């Protein structure tokens, strides 16, 4: 695991880009990888905000904003 110190807005923008990618790609392999990456980013944001793990069940960004 690598810790990266980036602004929160940058991480949220990255989640938006991943959402767009998931919505517009047709390759199942890439969708699964993108969802896993998205979950890792959301968990990192949640840990920095002190949120519990239960909040991250849904994979859409707007669920935690």
What's residue 55's pLDDT?
56
What's residue 7's pLDDT?
86
Contacts of 4 by beta carbon, 8 Å cutoff, 6+ apart: none
Identify the residue with better confidence: 65 or 34.
34
- From the number of C-beta atoms within 10 Å of its C-beta (0-12, 13-18, 19+), residue 65 rates as exposed
Identify the residue with better confidence: 46 or 2.
46
- Note the pLDDT tens digit of each residue in 16-48: 899 899 889 888 889 889 888 888 888 888 787
Segments making up each domain of the chain, as ranges: 8-63
pTM confidence score: 0.68
């Amino acid at each position: 695991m690598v810790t990266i110190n980036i602004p929160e807005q940058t991480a949220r923008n990255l989640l938006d880009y991943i959402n767009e990618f998931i919505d517009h790609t047709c390759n199942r392999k890439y969708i699964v990888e993108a969802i896993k990456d998205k979950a890792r980013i959301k968990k990192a944001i949640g840990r920095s905000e002190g949120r519990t793990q239960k909040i991250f069940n849904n994979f859409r960004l707007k669920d935690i904003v």
